[in-house]
Amino acid sequence: MQVLQVQLEVGPDPAEVSRARRWARSRLVGSGIGDDEPLADTLILLISELVTNAVVHTGCPAVLRMLFGAGAAEAGTVRVEVADISARPPQPRHAEGEDTGGRGLELVDGLADRWGWQREGTGKSIWCEVDRCAATAAPAVRFERETRGFATAQQ
C-alpha cells in the first residue's frame, strides 16, 4: 500500500500548537476526511496533545507528521507522529481534580487505537494511530466509553 506523508516543522513556542491544528485540519480535508467528520475532530485533538507535549516539555522544535494510506478514502489508518530532539521518554501522569496539566497522554490513550514512542536519531517520536473505519463515534463519546475501563483499571 502506498502511504502519503505530510509534515510540518513546529517551533518551540506554545502558540505553534494552534498553527499545527490549522495546518493539520487543511491536510485532513485534502486527504478526503471531511471537516465535519468525527474522525477529523479526534485527530485534531490528538495532534494538539502531542504537539503541546513536545513544545511544553522539551522547549525544542518538533516535526509533526501525518501519514495516510493513498487512495483509501473510506478505510485504512491515519498515523500521527511528533518527533523532537529530546531523548527523554514520555512520562504519562494522572491529573487530580482541578489540575491544569497531566491529562494529555490519558487523552491519547483513550482516543487513539494505538500509540507509543520510539527513539529517532538523538531524540524520539511519539506516535498514535486511528483506524478510519473504527472512528465512527464522536470523540467525547468514544473517550468516555473507553476511559471508563481505564479508570476502573487504575483503582
Q: Which CATH class is domain 3-154?
A: alpha beta
**CA 110 – CA 149 distance, rounded (Å):** 10
Residue 47 identity (one-letter amino acid): I
pLDDT digit string, tens, across residues 5-50: 899 999 999 999 999 999 999 999 988 899 889 999 999 999 999 9
Angle made by CA atoms 134, 139, 143, in degrees to the nearest 5: 90
**CA 130 – CA 22 distance, rounded (Å):** 19
**CA 97 – CA 146 distance, rounded (Å):** 20
Q: What does pTM read for this prediction?
A: 0.79
Domain boundaries, the chain: 3-154
**Grid cell digits, residue 127:** 506516535
pLDDT digit string, tens, across residues 102-123: 678 888 999 999 999 999 999 9
Find residue 56's DSSP bridge partners.
Answer: none
